[in-house]
Amino acid sequence: MIHVTLPEFILLAMGAALSLLALTWFLAVLFQRRHEYRARQDLIHCRICGLIYENPEKLEVMHCTGCGSQNEATKPSPI
């Protein structure tokens, strides 16, 4: 059996809790970035009027719903 004093035990418990919190935070950031990346896959940014609209059929070239100009399927830059 490992002999641990009370201050050492408290320090170990706090270290374990902080490690768990950091891991949870890291995973939450990873899942959020993945979700934003997937949501951005179907969007097109119009180079003429600046409108951002969806491309559900994933066409290479699509007409803008605002001004009617043709735009290539390029993802808008992240904020």
Binding site for Zn ion (CB under 5 A): 46, 48-49, 51, 64, 66-67
State the nearest-atom distance from the C-beta of 38 to Zn ion, in Å.
Answer: 24
Q: Which residues contact 55 (CB under 8 A, 6 or more apart)?
A: 42, 43, 44, 62, 73
Would you say 63 and 51 are in contact if contact means Cβ atoms under 8 Å apart? no
Centroid of chain to Cα 10: 35
Select 28 or 67, whichever has its Cβ closest to Zn ion: 67
Select 40 or 47, whichever has its Cβ closest to Zn ion: 47
Select 15 or 50, whichever has its Cβ closest to Zn ion: 50
State the nearest-atom distance from the C-beta of 36 to Zn ion, in Å.
Answer: 23
Instruction: Say whether 45 sits in a helix, a strand or coil.
Output: strand
